[in-house]
Amino acid sequence: MSGHSKWSTIKRKKGALDAKRGVIFTRISKDITLAAREHGGNADINPALRLAIKSAKAANMPNANIERAIKKGTGDLPGVTFEDLLYEGYGPGGVAIMMNILTDNKNRTLPEIRHIMGKNGGNLGESGCVNWMFEKKGIIGFNKSDTNEDELMEAALDNGAEDIISDDEEIMEVITMPEEFASVSDGLEKAGFNIQSGSINLEASNTVKVTGKDAQTLLTLMELLEDHEDVQKVYSNFDMDEDEIN
């Protein structure tokens, strides 16, 4: 299982705890902000934003929070200027880590991220040190409980998708090229499929197996990075066995 898929599965399993901790709104807001940052604030023509807003409404996020997240992404918050950055580095066990950063003060953000990495078995690297290990892919998620896999496969391929991954217990994922994400999403929505999530992510071309103490330290590091207010998305190429996950 790829690092993206493994980390996505772990986050879903931790979802109930996140909700109790009040983290769920923050993470949905990040999805909205990143989608608006990359493809604009009009949900009618931005399927990633449309899907993020759908998740926000399902979680009962107030409209004011949604609007603020969109404006943060489009740069329309009065008196605030954001920079869109990409940080790269290494985690425990030598895994590659990449982070989408959106910050109004990189002189604050950079040392904070470096501190988190250094305290948890990782280190930031130079630009380009690991990004060659990843490629952009569109990821569209569906609940297995209400989706016919054969019908989804046929419709997805008819609409230009690359593949379907079904190795998660709850979610099936349609994989697309980045430039085909919008058309595939729109086509599947029009075909009547209930899309649960969708975004452009970085997928690792190969994985690094981590075990034992490295695995536990890595999970802590990934959570701390995701919880940082300026980190929009975290990607890694790790793989680990299910029994390593608490």
Place 27 in a pLDDT band, splitting at 50, 70 and 90. Answer: confident
CATH number corresponding to 83-132+207-241: 3.30.70.980
Q: Is the pLDDT of residue 10 over 90?
A: no
Of 14-28, 92-106, 179-193, 226-240, least confident by mean pLDDT is: 14-28
pLDDT at 3: 44
Spell out the CATH class of 134-204. Answer: alpha beta
pLDDT at 245: 72
pLDDT at 140: 93
Place 24 in a pLDDT band, splitting at 50, 70 and 90. Answer: confident
CA distances 205 to 8, 46, 65, Å, are 17, 27, 36
Quote the CA–CA distance of 159 and 153 in Å, as a whole number: 10
- Residues 159-167 have a mean pLDDT of 89
pLDDT at 19: 56
Quote the CA–CA distance of 41 and 135 in Å, as a whole number: 24
Place 6 in a pLDDT band, splitting at 50, 70 and 90. Answer: low
pLDDT in tens, 111-147: 999 999 999 999 999 999 999 999 999 999 998 988 9
- Residues 1-19 have a mean pLDDT of 56
Can 83-132+207-241 and 134-204 be said to share one CATH topology?
yes
Mean model confidence pLDDT for the chain: 87
**What number of H helices and E strands is found in the chain?**
9, 10
More confident call, 75 vs 168: 75
Q: Is the pLDDT of residue 82 over 90?
A: no
- Domain edges within the chain: 3-74, 83-132+207-241, 134-204
pLDDT at 241: 81
Residue 242, classified by CB atoms within 10 Å of its CB into exposed (0-12), middle (13-18) or buried (19+), is exposed
Tell me the fold of 3-74: Arc Repressor Mutant, subunit A (1.10.10)
pLDDT in tens, 179-192: 999 999 999 999 99
